[in-house]
Amino acid sequence: MIHLFAVALGGALGAVARYWVSGWLNNAEHPIPVGTLSVNVLGSFLMGVCFVLILEKARLSPELRPLVMVGFLGAFTTFSTFSLETVAMISEGHIMSALIYISLSVLLCIAALGAGLWLTRLF
Give binding residues as ranges: 74, 77
Extract the annotated binding site for Na(+).
74, 77
DSSP secondary structure string for all residues of 100-114: HHHHHHHHHHHHHHH
Q: Are 85 and 101 in contact (CB under 8 A)?
A: yes
Give helix then strand counts, H and E, for the chain. Answer: 6, 0
What's the CA dihedral at 54, 57, 61, 63 to 10 degrees?
10
